[in-house]
Amino acid sequence: MFELSGSMTMHPETPGEPRYDLPRKLNHELQAIFPAGERISFDKGLRLKHWAETGEDRPPVDKIAEGVRDLIERIQDVTTIEALQVITADKATIKQREWLTKNRSDLAERVDAAVQAALDGFASEEVEFEGAAA
């Protein structure tokens, strides 16, 4: 085996998972890509490809999470409840939130929390304003 960067053993009892109780030769970077007890996946293959091409390990970019991050930032930047309503009533936003609820509940919860935080902020401003008028 000339210029072998790594090897791991697979076993029929744990299909798709590297076995580290059996002989292996993986450096720390490759062990981070292929941790014990986790199945080899397409994303891990992308990480391995990136490592082979560049010598560094970076997880693949989660474009869905990036889109959610952008939506949350837009929600956090609103200054009026009307602006929040424009964002949340937008057909693309509605479709995005429905998809997230079905497929990425963790991200859907983050968007819901951002909307609720914005609503809570507007509610506290109204209370402060009403108190100042009295």
The model's pLDDT over 45-72, given as tens digits with 9 standing for 90+, comes to 888 888 888 877 776 678 899 999 999 9
Biggest CA pair distance of the chain: 83
Q: How far is CA 11 from the centre of its chain?
A: 31
pLDDT tens, position by position, 105-127: 999 999 999 999 999 988 876 54
Q: In the structure, what pLDDT confidence band is assigned to residue 2 with cuts at 50, 70 and 90? A: low
What pLDDT score does 4 carry? 66
| Residue 78 is assigned to a structural domain of this protein | yes
Same domain, 45 and 24: yes
Pairing of strands 14-19, 9-11: antiparallel
Domain that holds residue 24: 9-54
Q: What is the DSSP letter of 5?
A: -
Spatial separation of the C-alpha atoms in residues 54 and 32, rounded to whole Å: 16
**17: part of which helix (H) or strand (E)?**
strand 14-19
Does residue 112 form part of some domain? yes
Residue 1 located in a structural domain: no
Q: Under DSSP, is residue 4 helix (H, G, I), strand (E, B) or coil?
A: coil
Per the domain annotation, does 3 fall within a domain?
no
Q: Judge whether 2 lies within some domain.
A: no
